[in-house]
Every structure is written in C-alpha cells, then in structure tokens.
Amino acid sequence: MDTQALALALPLIGWASHTALLTHRLATARRDPLTGLRTRAGWTALAERVIRRHRDAVVLLLDLDDFKNLNDSHGHAAGDFALVVTAERLAAWCGRNGIAGRLGGDEFVAIARQAPDLESLHHALNPPVAYAGRRLPVSVSVGSCHVKDLPVRSLSDALAAADSAMYAAKGTSGRRGTRTLNR
C-alpha cells in the first residue's frame, strides 16, 4: 500500500473503529450485564412509546421478596442466579406483547400492551429455583397500574402507582402476590 492510500485509509479505519466502540457501549448501556434485560434507560424509551400507542397498556413493578436473606443464606452467586432466572421468566411471560427491564438490585419492571393475566405472572415467577442441588425459594411482589386509569397517561405516574401497589402487595400476609392500584 502506498503512503497516500495509507494516509487516506487510516482516518476511515479510526472512524469505523470508534463508531463500533460507541455502538457497543450504547448497546451495553441499554442492557443489564447480569440478566440481559433492558436497563432503566433502554426500557424507559420503549415503555414511553408503548404508553403513547396503546391505551390499554399496563405498567408492572416487581421486587424479589426477602432477597437479602437469600443472598445471606445461600451466597451472592445464588442470589445472582435467582435474579437471572427471574429475568428469564419475566421476559418469557412478556413475550411479544410486552417489554421487561431491570431497574437494579432485585427490582424489575415490565410493560404490557394490553391488560395481562397477572395470575399467570404470579405462577411464572414464584416457583423455587434449582441451584447447586438445592431448591431456592423465590417470591416476587408485583404492583401494576393500568395506564388508562391515570388522569394523565405518563410513565412516571404509572410507575409511582405501580410502586404503591407493589408495596401494598408486600404488606399482605403469607405468600406474596400481585396488586393493582385502583384509583
């Protein structure tokens, strides 16, 4: 390769490499490295679009119950495994009609384009997890908000309502369940 061709090619190669690096960083910033679900930023952008387009959308906020106890009793690797399995179960439940994400820690979020069967979600998320020859208990509290029930259809209001409903579900006795906030 002659010097002139090399001088022309180097900036293009550098630009292409830099673009590939930025694309990779953007993609990884929108995906949780542990679970592969969308991060808050990646999920929020899609969820806002769903709310604009689907009047019957439902926002769900989910939290693993007694997660600290799981980590303390079985170790952080077991806790991570429970998070990964929960993420897989949530993503499978959402299928093509919803979008799942991980907000951080043991908190997950989802949006369904139309009113989902919350009982099936409860059954999908709560079976024990097999890990290292043991059955780890997994229990997930779920709060939901039907966007059409809000005075103003906004994601932040839907998340706040789902959060209130989730904490109401955590307050129930016995096995954790699901709640919908009725306004």
Has 65 been annotated as catalytic?
no
Identify the active-site residue in 106, 149, 157, 163. 106
The per-residue pLDDT string of the chain (183 residues; one tens digit each, 9 = 90 and over) reads 677 776 777 776 766 675 665 555 555 567 899 999 999 999 999 999 999 999 999 999 999 999 999 999 999 999 999 999 999 999 999 998 899 999 999 999 999 998 888 999 999 999 999 999 999 999 999 999 999 999 999 999 999 999 999 999 887 533 345 545 444
What is the DSSP pairing of strand 107-112 with strand 129-131?
Answer: unpaired
**pLDDT at residue 183, rounded to an integer:** 41
Nearest to 147 by CA among 156, 161, 158: 158
Give the residue carrying structure tokens 């997950």: 108
**pLDDT at residue 82, rounded to an integer:** 97
**pLDDT at residue 155, rounded to an integer:** 96
